Structure 1
């Protein structure tokens, strides 16, 4: 009997305990949510769809043009081998694109298969900021290039970046163009700069050209020197002014020769402690300080002619076997040699308005690089017309 009672009590207690446990599970802890593909959840505008190699390269170039650090490419029905083409496209863009060659440091990618298509994330690190890229000047022709280089010298810029369409232009040509711009107007930046040119890429139709200009002086010092030089030139040009360019050119020649002492070895300059030995070959040395070698006097005459609106260039050649500089100027439609250093040594008759034939007796120069001087006028003819 006791066993039956005990069994009944155990049964009742089990029923009670089971009823209590059911109450513990009234809340649902199992959560089911819809699966979302991260790639598909991205905005369609952020994904570029690629079907062939041309579209692949264009997409990478577009990322670089927009200065993007990351881009998503989706390959659907792609005609080619995706992985090898990706590697090749990144390499070609980095080495062939002007902007990528200039601005990009490194490019890489991650490639994933997503059910029915492949998707790549391209990563780009840059060595140039967007601000640096924005300073690039676009050049459309040789004339604009010449004007841009001349302006850079006039502003005494230390760095410029140019984007140009030319498969043939070289770094040496750019350096030569800068030198030509300086010799045409030596007062622009006071001293000839040391030029460093880098091309991005080295070959190709579209290229970005970096140019560094080192003057050896602080900008504030150059600006002060340029102000003094400009003031001196304005005074000389004003005093020498004449309606006839031939007379104007002659007056400039005489004023330069009379003001500046010809100092071919720098010995006169070295006796002046206040003068810098490096300025003897500049227009500043000739016109402000009054001592210059042949290069400085030629630079000074070129600067004066430029200010007077007279065509003039500097000739670098030899005289009596020694390095020597002088000028070629255009007067009344013809070109003539002018050597201001000859004012005291040769006399004005043999150093102003000379033809190629007359100069051959003592001078040597690369005639192919300069205009033919065949004018029939001379200093004597000018004097006869005046008197």
Structure 2
């Protein structure tokens, strides 16, 4: 009987970090259905190395402390096989890399098979393992992130089949979702991301969100924001261009914006003071409520960080800056006009080169008079 121990901590001490990172690890595919051994219902049956790894992975997803695999018809080096299997689970399998502290395997040759007994030490609870949400593709990833943001969650753990080359890439994706989810913009969260394992196509992505406020406070603020947005949007029946102007002037009329203000929809709509990001996110929320396609543009104005909006109506897009204080005849701008004072990453946003939009005079005059 031979015991093989692969512990992240022990390896780091005995071989050094450099040697650990230089090792070749087996890439593990998604788990498949497992088959119990007909001779022993407490053990899984494996036919070859791939089955051995898959069976050992299965026990991790179940949070088992130990798991037995009967490896049949194996003629290779069994010591190398169990060594590589433990290696793969601990360093290449997303769930194993996330959940395990270390794994050991003891094997015994019994007539026609090897009995391989895996023992697991966890750094995660069973509830944490069960909370991992599998997602397939960017759209599904963004949906889960949006749900976590609007629910003011403290943590989200996903198993993604999409390739993210770094935690920074994931953070950029999360911020893109954040700017598309204005109802979550009550307090920009501090975001930390950890990927398990460090490399590979499939990863467990651990996202921690520190909102700086208790969830109950955020939920109360969300209700106030929703009520304020409903009052501003009202039941306008004009064209989308006219309604875009009405939302702009109503938001601006109750707002004292400042570059030093808060980047918060709550401060813009309820407190009446915010910086350009808070204002742009608030306008995006109002447009969402009114059915107008709108984005938040992040760029600079006169070399200072500045945010504004971009609306699209009937396939034509314009820039709009609530903080500029412009009148109804000049509140929408093309790229060329906006570029006179502002700069932004143009490849990230629609082209704005439409003709000047017309605001219905009666509706606009009525709004200004009120």
Q: TM-score range by the shorter chain?
A: 0.7 to 0.9
Deviations 1:154-201 (A, max 9, x none): 111111111221234643343223222322232235122121112222
2:246 to 241, 247, 251: 251
Going from structure 1 to structure 2, the CA distance change for 1:348 and 1:382 (only over 3 Å counts) comes to closer
Going from structure 1 to structure 2, the CA distance change for 1:47 and 1:262 (only over 3 Å counts) comes to closer
Give the secondary-structure state (helix, strand or coil) at the position aligned to 2:234: helix
Q: Distance in 1 between matches of 2:51 and 2:219?
A: 51
Q: Please show how residues 67-82 of structure 1 align to structure 2 within 5 Å.
A: 67-82=63-78
Q: Distance in 2 between matches of 1:302 and 1:310?
A: 9
Give the secondary-structure state (helix, strand or coil) at the position aligned to 2:310: strand
2:158 to 157, 162, 179: 162
Q: How many residues align?
A: 327
Going from structure 1 to structure 2, the CA distance change for 1:115 and 1:179 (only over 3 Å counts) comes to closer
Q: Is 2:322 the counterpart of 1:327?
A: no
Give 1:81 deviation, angstroms: 1.2
Q: Hey, what does 2:221 align to over in structure 1?
A: 225
1:234 to 215, 225, 230: 230
Q: Please show how residues 1-387 of structure 1 align to structure 2 within 5 Å.
A: 44-50=40-46, 52-114=48-110, 118-168=114-164, 170-238=166-234, 241-266=236-261, 280-343=262-325, 347-350=327-330, 352-378=331-357, 381-383=358-360
Give the secondary-structure state (helix, strand or coil) at the position aligned to 1:291: coil
Q: Could you tell which deviates more after superposition, 126-135 or 156-165?
A: 126-135
Going from structure 1 to structure 2, the CA distance change for 1:255 and 1:100 (only over 3 Å counts) comes to same
Going from structure 1 to structure 2, the CA distance change for 1:340 and 1:154 (only over 3 Å counts) comes to same
Give 1:249 deviation, angstroms: 0.7
Counterpart contact for 1:229–1:288, Cα < 8 Å: yes
Gap runs ≥5 in structure 2: 1-37, 366-370
Deviations 1:114-154 (A, max 9, x none): 57764332211222222222222221232222222111111
Q: Distance in 2 between matches of 1:76 and 1:337?
A: 67
- TM-score normalised to structure 1 length: 0.78
- TM-score normalised to structure 2 length: 0.81
Q: Distance in 2 between matches of 1:243 and 1:385?
A: 10
Counterpart contact for 1:184–1:303, Cα < 8 Å: no
Give 1:320 deviation, angstroms: 1.4
> Could you say which structure has the larger radius of gyration?
1
Which one has the bigger helix percentage?
1
Give the secondary-structure state (helix, strand or coil) at the position aligned to 1:328: strand
Q: Distance in 2 between matches of 1:137 and 1:117?
A: 36
The higher-RCO structure (CA 8 Å, 6+ apart) is 2
Counterpart contact for 1:245–1:332, Cα < 8 Å: no
Q: Could you tell which deviates more after superposition, 73-82 or 292-301?
A: 73-82
Runs of 4+ aligned structure 1 residues displaced above 6 Å come to 384-387
Give the secondary-structure state (helix, strand or coil) at the position aligned to 1:341: helix
Give the secondary-structure state (helix, strand or coil) at the position aligned to 2:67: strand
